[in-house]
């Protein structure tokens, strides 16, 4: 296998319907705690587990309001590659960028939901994964099926900066101060007004 000496890039996939400060909280943790060179905001064409969403370009416009720093960029690669499943995206990225050190970033609600993803174990086998704690169901995420099954590959939070250089499977759970914002709460507020 080729040694990975290229840039370290956080892959931060989302529906972003709309994007909000909770997303910045996750992406900022990628630069600050994981010490990544860049974070790519991957606008999902359509989360396979969610009902139909507004267009990816309309959702991406909401990220513009967050004033991203230079080290973060918005990516429509999943639309271009016609992938909806993370495992398929990672296969294509690995072929396109063989030396890049990718880290996949998710909120803890997604860790709890991951048994419903396509080939979730393969996702863990392909890239290091960073989970950012989120209010809601913290125990479900921390003690759920994925956390239990992957317990042997967990890196202590204090060593999160080293995650990018770990061989998969390897993951960490960042507790950090919690951020309670969600897109569904924002949508509900707009509907109510």
Ligand X SMILES: Nc1ncnc2c1ncn2[C@@H]1O[C@H](COP(=O)(O)OP(=O)(O)OP(=O)(O)O)[C@@H](O)[C@H]1O
* 134-153: contacts with ligand X (CB under 6 A): 134
Mask for 170-189, x = binds ligand X (CB under 6 A): ---------x-xxxx-----
Number of H helices, E strands in the chain: 9, 7
Nearer to ligand X, 8 or 113 (CB): 113
Please, what is the Cα angle at 121 between 80 and 176, to 5 degrees? 85
Segment interacting with ligand X (CB under 6 A) among 8-16, 33-41, 61-69, 122-130: 8-16
Query: Counting contacts by CB under 6 A, is residue 110 touching ligand X?
Result: yes
We find the least distance from the C-beta atom of residue 117 to ligand NCN, in angstroms, to be 3
Nearer to ligand X, 32 or 98 (CB): 32
Query: Counting contacts by CB under 6 A, is residue 10 touching ligand X?
Result: no
Q: In what order do the strands lie in the sheet with 101-107?
A: 72-75, 38-43, 8-14, 101-107, 129-132, 171-174, 154-155
Query: Counting contacts by CB under 6 A, is residue 53 touching ligand X?
Result: no
Strands (E), the chain: 8-14, 38-43, 72-75, 101-107, 129-132, 154-155, 171-174
**Cα–Cα distance between 171 and 125 in angstroms, integer?**
10
Q: Residue from 112, 132, 146, 170 that binds ligand X (CB under 6 A)? A: 132
Instruction: State the residues that interact with ligand X by CB under 6 A.
Output: 14-17, 22-23, 25-26, 106-107, 109-110, 132, 134, 179, 181-184
């Amino acid at each position: 296998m080729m040694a990975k000496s290229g840039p370290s890039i956080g892959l931060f996939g989302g529906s972003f319907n709309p994007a909000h400060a909770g997303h910045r909280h996750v992406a900022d943790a990628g630069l600050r705690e994981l010490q990544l060179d860049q974070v790519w905001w991957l606008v999902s064409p359509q989360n396979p587990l969610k009902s139909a969403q507004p267009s990816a370009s309309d959702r991406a416009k909401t990220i513009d309001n967050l004033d991203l720093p230079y080290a973060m960029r918005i990516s429509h690669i999943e639309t271009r590659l016609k992938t909806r499943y993370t495992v398929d995206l990672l296969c294509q990225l690995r072929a396109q960028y063989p030396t890049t050190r990718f880290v996949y970033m998710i909120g803890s609600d997604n860790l709890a939901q991951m048994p419903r993803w396509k080939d979730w174990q393969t996702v863990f086998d392909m890239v290091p994964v960073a989970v950012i704690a989120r209010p809601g169901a913290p125990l479900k995420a921390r003690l759920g099926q994925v956390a239990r099954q992957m317990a042997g590959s967990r890196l202590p939070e204090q060593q999160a900066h080293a995650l990018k250089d770990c061989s998969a499977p390897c993951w960490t759970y960042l507790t950090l101060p919690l951020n309670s914002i969600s897109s569904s709460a924002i949508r509900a507020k707009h509907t109510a007004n």
